[in-house]
Structure 1
């Protein structure tokens, strides 16, 4: 069976399975447990529009998670079918940021590529944050000024309450003398942000809004 699960779908399924697991741990009512299983099954299958019988069977197993051991084994199987983020070389990344001199490219361990909806990293020395992802199927890069905040807030990309900073992207307007700046709060820790993403829609909307 080929890989068919996006990273955001993988994290959504994990979240639903964890919710079910918490239900098993907090109630002994069989009717409540059965309702939770049905809801879990419905939600995870709704993520996909065209599944083969084997694929559907794999996804539906999320509703069979009863304890931590089940969860660990299931997530391990599920991860084998996650489509990893395209592996990029340093040269690939530099091509996406042709105007940036002395670009500091991150090192990403092999096991993390299936956890990524986007590549993101901070360059504290330049007060910048960089983001690479796909929008409408095309690889794109975005960078901007980044100022961390002391308090937590809602991230525009993952929609979770995390430690964030103000990301501001600046572009030239219709004439060379005009500049346009757009900003919003996003996670300081891009790895944590990726783990939170259960839908690509806010991520792609953020990139389009910043680059519009």
Structure 2
């Protein structure tokens, strides 16, 4: 059976099962536990538009009863998870033509399934993000802050809360909505600096897609 579970959907399933596991541990009412399990099952199946009988059998949680069952279930799903297709350094260079001698992602950055590709070039203090929209690669270069405050930030993509060593307010420069030639505007958003951890937490790509559409003026 081929991979059929998007990375962000896999993260969502794990989050749902974490909540279900809490119910297993803390609730003694069997009816409530069963209701929570049915609700979780519906949430998982609603992620998919169409499934084969084999896929249905794989993702069904009816037999889960304990934390050990959940752990075995997620490990079983892991082999059917896929992420963003690998991209080459040439594709990255083409996306960021205005960035001279851009540092490329680490060689192992694409070894595991990921929702989006991101890396930091400390020499120019920029964070880069690449993601496919409508089967076309889209990228944005974001300026990193120079200050190191202890203020807490919430990642726009995965909702993780951390200080500026973990989550920073970055600013991509983007074309203005104005028709004036050469007009630019700047927006900002909070994002995890460790994209691997963010990719393991993000449960939906919707906010990432909306950001990229805004920055790159994609309708």
Report the TM range for the smaller structure's normalisation. 0.7 to 0.9
SS in 1 for 2:28: coil
Structure 1's consecutive aligned runs of 4 or more residues displaced over 4 angstroms after TM superposition are: 172-177
Change (3 A) 1:110 1:55: farther
Moved more, 153-162 or 81-90: 153-162
Following superposition, the deviation at residue 64 of structure 1 comes to 3.6
Match of 1:24 in 2: 24
- Please show how residues 138-157 of structure 1 align to structure 2 within 5 Å: 138-147=136-145, 150-157=150-157
CA distance in 2, matches of 1:156, 1:110: 21
Change (3 A) 1:70 1:5: same
Which of 170, 178, 193 in structure 2 is aligned with 1:188?
A: 193
TM-score by length of 1: 0.88
Deviations 1:12-42 (A, max 9, x none): 1111111111211112221121111111111
Structure 1 residues without counterparts, runs of 5 or longer? none
Is 1:166 the counterpart of 2:169 in the alignment?
A: yes
Following superposition, the deviation at residue 130 of structure 1 comes to 0.3
TM-score by length of 2: 0.85
Following superposition, the deviation at residue 166 of structure 1 comes to 1.6
CA distance in 2, matches of 1:85, 1:190: 13
Match of 1:199 in 2: 204
Following superposition, the deviation at residue 159 of structure 1 comes to 3.2
Count of residue pairs brought into register by the alignment = 210
- Please show how residues 33-44 of structure 1 align to structure 2 within 5 Å: 33-44=33-44
Match of 1:55 in 2: 55
Change (3 A) 1:68 1:94: farther
Asked whether the equivalents of residues 20 and 65 of structure 1 are also in contact (C-alpha less than 8 Å), the reply is: no
Change (3 A) 1:149 1:211: farther
- Please show how residues 26-175 of structure 1 align to structure 2 within 5 Å: 26-61=26-61, 63-109=62-108, 112-114=111-113, 116-147=114-145, 150-162=150-162, 163-171=166-174, 174-175=179-180
